Structures are given as structure tokens and as C-alpha cells.
A = this chain, B = another copy of it.
Amino acid sequence: MTSPADTTDTATFTAVPVPHTDEELAGITYNADGLVGAIIQDATDGTVLMFAWMNAESLARTLETGRTWFWSRSRQEYWCKGETSGDRQYVRGVRYDCDGDALLITVDQEGAGACHTGNRSCFYRAFGDGAVDDGPPAGP
């Protein structure tokens, strides 16, 4: 059910499907569990927000919907980032590395951030600081 509040919540960014070819999809290599790691990076300031896993179906959903879809290894189910928390990710680009076994997805991050702890980035801790700090570096 859509309420006026829901409309306001989703008005910040627009989901845009990512063009892709079968040849590009065939270039992705999945591990023995059928998964590929996905690095999620803020499209605006370069902050690395999180790391999660995709299978072929969740990658296809991500490209087709313009929202990030992952595969939860613990729950054995698909999840669309932010559907529960409201902190949705709107995809701006999907890259893959030289081996085709890692993805780099740039997003507009809605809401408070990507981490379930309330931090903007899941990488809010560093060796040597012994405590929560200001998060990973963004661009200059």
C-alpha cells in the first residue's frame, strides 16, 4: 500500500536500469557457491559503503531495476537493500574487474547510510584507532 509518506521517502533519487549485454554478463565469474563479491561505493564522494554478495539472479535484478539486490548467505534469500531500513541504494554504474570475479557498484545512498549499525559506511572501524572514528576517507 502506498501512502503519501512513502511517496516522500522515495522521492530523493530515481531508479534507472543499467544497460547491459549478454556478452558482459558472460564475463562475470562466480565462485563455487555461485556468488560474486560486490563493492558498493558512493557515486558522489567515493566513500566505500559496504561489501556484499550477489549471484547471477541478484546481479540481473540490480541491472534491471537500478536498485541493489544481494544474496544473503545466512538467510538464503534475495534482499533489496533498504526495503526494510529505508536506506535504499540507487545504482549509477556497475563495473567488473580484470578477472571478472569482483563487482564495483556506484550508488546514490538514501537515508542515514549503508550500515545496519547506523554508520554511513560499514567500514567504520580501522586498525590502530581502537574505537569508532569518522569513517573511511572520501575523495579530496
Contact = CB atoms under 8 A, between A and B. Distances in A.
A24 to B, nearest CB: 5
Interface residues of A, number: 45
A95 B126 contact: yes
Interface in A8-36: 18-21, 24, 27
A128 to B, nearest CB: 4
B24 A51 contact: no
Given A46-B47, A130-B24, A122 B140 contact: no
B97 A127 contact: no
B98 A115 contact: yes
A123 interface: yes
Contact of A128 (B18, B45, B122): B18
A-B pairs, top 10 by smallest CB distance, nearest first, are A139-B139, A46-B46, A19-B128, A51-B102, A97-B122, A46-B139, A95-B123, A20-B127, A104-B123, A94-B127
